[in-house]
Amino acid sequence: MRIRLMVAAGILGVMILAFSLPHGDPSAVDLTAVLQPPSQAHPLGTDDLGRDVWALMAVGFWRTLTVVVTASLTSVLIGVPLGLIAGYSRGAVNAIIMTATDLTMIIPTFVAALLVTAVVGLTPFSAGLVLGLFGAGTYVNQTRALTLSIRSYDYVRAEVLLATPTVQILLRHVLPGVAGPLMRYFGSSASGTILAYAGLAFIGLGVDTTVPDWGTMLYRHRSQIDHPLLLLWPTLGIFLLAIVFHILADPALRKEGQ
């Protein structure tokens, strides 16, 4: 497991370093230098509007990262507490939370994102929030299932007998047991978010295609197959970033080292 973490952190570290270097102005159009191959001035060449591809990639990276962080935080901060509460309490509270969760599970995350971003416009935060919110359902279910099983362990029942306050039981005894398996699920949901955001940008509802997003870059250059590099860089960006989270997720589906 440790090797996996190092590889994932390595890739992410390189990308963060690379894209935080100073880069040109992504919106600087230069029609005299259209579709140039990689050169000293433009490490990744220029696009059909003569813009510096490296700058576009850098801005696209930070926007995608914002989406992943926003979506993951939203899912975890909403899903886990609700899952803990639903798992630990009985009756009405449990029913309300589970019905709301079922609602978000019925409507596919991508469709919800399409709807919301079309109305409020596609920005990293809006996409992150809606992908996070509709992705929280799985976190609620997984956390609730884990809480239900941990709750019946003797050490939790012993804490109840020791008059330990419920909040402390949830945070100190149940949550650590939940965190492990959830951490691994987080990996696969994060890589899913990256692809979803790229897809939203690609379909381009409520977005102007000059904004530097990896998805919009792919959408704009989809017909220029003769300039494969323009398609390669965003694809590589998405691939590497998704790999970072996919590596974290893999043990989730295959029991390793347990």
CB of 220 to other proteins, least distance (A): 12
- Closest to other proteins by CB, 203 vs 229, is 203
Least Å distance between CB 34 and other proteins? 22
Shortest distance in whole angstroms from residue 202 CB to other proteins: 5
Q: How far is the CB of 9 from other proteins (least distance, A)?
A: 17
C-alpha 67 chain-centroid distance: 6
CB of 48 to other proteins, least distance (A): 16
DSSP string for 38-95: S-SS-TT-B-TT--BHHHHHHHHHHHHHHHHHHHHHHHHHHHHHHHHHHHH--THHHH
CB nearer other proteins, residue 24 or residue 97: 97
- By C-beta, is 25 or 172 nearer to other proteins? 172
Which positions touch other proteins (CB under 8 A)? 99, 102-103, 105-111, 114-115, 118-119, 138, 153-155, 157-158, 160-164, 168, 172-173, 176-177, 188, 191-192, 195, 198-199, 202-203, 205, 215, 218, 222, 225, 231, 235, 238-239, 242-243, 246, 249-250, 253-255
In the complex with other proteins, the residue whose CB is nearer, 78 or 175, is 175
Is residue 74 within 8 Å of 132, Cβ to Cβ? Answer: yes
In the bound state with other proteins, the residue whose beta carbon lies nearer, of 32 and 99, is 99
Would you say 59 or 169 has its CB closer to other proteins? 169
CA–CA–CA angle 82, 84, 90 (5° rounding): 90
- Compute the least distance from the CB of residue 199 to other proteins, in Å: 5
- 8-state DSSP, 162: T
Q: What span, in angstroms and rounded, lies between the C-alpha atoms of 182 and 80?
A: 9
- HSE-up of residue 107 (Cα within 13 Å, Cβ side): 16
By C-alpha distance, which of 107, 94, 61 is closest to 214?
61
166: enclosing H helix or E strand: helix 166-168
